[in-house]
Structure 1
């Protein structure tokens, strides 16, 4: 029988077996799951914005 993979809880780092018995996977507990959700809700996790492109100030006639 193949062993299910073990992953680390993204919140606290505790080892979590990745199978149906792990109710909150990839988190180790409901607490870690809710802490992570709270961080998303307060914008603690953000995708960085790209630097705005420098717009070419020339008009199309100047090319």
Structure 2
């Protein structure tokens, strides 16, 4: 299985919770999940702001 070498903060933003993949960065103020003014508090990608998860029946 291949190792994922891409941006890991993007994975945290997609899941909507801290996954602590960056080590110290996740504990500090630079983590995009815990910023006071969250500019990127939505899933990554072109359609991240529009995407809303529908509850399953």
Both proteins in one fold, TM over 0.5:
no
Higher relative contact order, chain-length normalized (CA < 8 Å, sep 6+):
2
The TM-score normalised by the length of structure 2 is 0.28
Greater share of helix: 1
The TM-score normalised by the length of structure 1 is 0.27
Greater share of strand: 1
